[in-house]
Amino acid sequence: MEDVLKLQQKIVPELVELLEKRYNILRTIYYNQPIGRRVLANNLEIGERIVRTEINFLKGQNFIEINTPGMTITKEGEEIIDKLKDFIHAMKGLSEIEKFIKDSLMLKKVIVVPGNLDEDKTVVNEIGRAAAGYLKSIIADKSIIAITGGSTIKELIDNMPKMSSFKDILVVPARGGMGRNIETQANTLAEKLASKLEGNYRLLHVPDNLSDKAMSTIIQEKDVKDILDTVYNANILIYGIGRADEMSRRRGLISEEIQKIENSGAVGEAFGYYHDEEGKIVYSTPSIGIRNEEIGKIDTLIAVAGGKEKAEAIISIQKNYHNSVLVTDEGAAREIMELLK
């Protein structure tokens, strides 16, 4: 199959480009429906005339419907998106990239979805979908799932189907809350995932950043102690990866701390630990939640992050966590491959 695709790319490369263009149009409509032609053209950064031609073709194939509110995907359209996703994955040689990154960083598994999140925001939905699919495949009765916050983790949970086949599932936040957006905080996401799995959840009602004195006092509280014990005993840990410069600001650190992080050579952040390009922890922020020494003991880590700009950060974090499954996009994956080479 892959040999045929490579031959196709050499002989009729324009066919491959057309296929990918139509896939991107269908995917963008699917995640933004109902959507108008002008908005679609702006989202894809292509001319309205080209969009009009492609829309007429897709409508003729019964992949989309056009109504007053805008365009929507038909059932046939949804099926073709799923089938095209696997075809484009093979056509772009993403399996080879997955293997290269997996072997180079000694990871458990790498899953790459087509597209670049930095250029197309709908790719985050595909990352979430792929991560949800993997999580669904490894959950078992009595699983303890710890999760961090973040918009990419939210996409994973949004893409999880309702499941009632498991018993005694427990979901817990891996760390205290961060940021002002309650929708993407670990507590909120833990509750939402537990609801999807018809499981139980426990919450960690403490701020993400505390002074050492405040943290040592809160850790002595029985409720907090019990939740932390549960977090440390998790067998699945789902987490996002951030760029060190962005995360130091998002975590609301004071300018002196931000300067220290920049001077330390940190490029990636996860769990409040800042890593340099060799993977070494060069800075950490006080936090209640999962500790670095506990992370390596967890059976499966699922790292969810995308975008070419995060490639260096992803490498720096994954160098430490070899029990990780990395779910990312093509933009990040190709840049990671170049950096590793």
Query: How confident is the model over 220-261, as pLDDT tens digits?
Result: 777 778 888 888 889 999 999 999 888 888 777 778 888 888
CATH architecture observed for domain 2-91 = Orthogonal Bundle (1.10)
Question: If we measure between CA atoms, which residue out of 155, 163, 174, 146 comes closest to residue 198?
Answer: 163
pLDDT in tens, 113-161: 998 888 888 899 999 999 999 999 999 999 999 999 888 999 999 999 9
What local confidence, expressed as pLDDT, does residue 204 receive?
80
pLDDT in tens, 292-302: 888 888 999 99
State how far the Cα of 328 lies from the Cα of 310, in Å rounded to an integer: 10
pLDDT in tens, 5-40: 667 667 767 777 888 889 889 999 998 899 998 999
State how far the Cα of 123 lies from the Cα of 28, in Å rounded to an integer: 9
Is residue 178 predicted with pLDDT exceeding 60? no
Looking up tokens 């899953």 gives 111
User: Which of the two residues, 142 and 1, has the higher pLDDT score?
Assistant: 142
What local confidence, expressed as pLDDT, does residue 47 receive?
87
Mean pLDDT of the chain: 88
Q: Could you check whether 2-91 and 94-340 share the same CATH topology?
A: no
SS3 239: strand
Q: What is the mean pLDDT of residues 189-193?
A: 94
Is residue 320 predicted with pLDDT exceeding 70? yes
State how far the Cα of 118 lies from the Cα of 104, in Å rounded to an integer: 24
Q: What is the mean pLDDT of residues 323-327?
A: 93
Other beta carbons within 10 Å of 178: 22
Is residue 309 predicted with pLDDT exceeding 90? yes
Where are the chain's structural domains? Answer: 2-91, 94-340
Please report, as a single letter, which amino acid is at residue 19.
Answer: L
Is residue 175 predicted with pLDDT exceeding 90? no
How large a percentage of the chain has pLDDT more than 90?
A: 50
What local confidence, expressed as pLDDT, does residue 226 receive?
82
Please tell us whether the domain made up of 94-340 is placed in CATH 3.40.50.1360: yes
Where does the pLDDT of residue 164 fall: very low under 50, low under 70, confident under 90, or very high at 90 and above?
Answer: confident
State how far the Cα of 48 lies from the Cα of 247, in Å rounded to an integer: 38
User: Which of the two residues, 224 and 214, has the higher pLDDT score?
Assistant: 224
**Hey, what are 237's tokens?**
């840990």
State how far the Cα of 87 lies from the Cα of 145, in Å rounded to an integer: 32
Q: What is the mean pLDDT of residues 190-213?
A: 83
State how far the Cα of 203 lies from the Cα of 227, in Å rounded to an integer: 8
Where does the pLDDT of residue 210 fall: very low under 50, low under 70, confident under 90, or very high at 90 and above?
Answer: low
What local confidence, expressed as pLDDT, does residue 179 receive?
55
SS3 228: helix
What local confidence, expressed as pLDDT, does residue 208 receive?
59
What local confidence, expressed as pLDDT, does residue 292 receive?
84
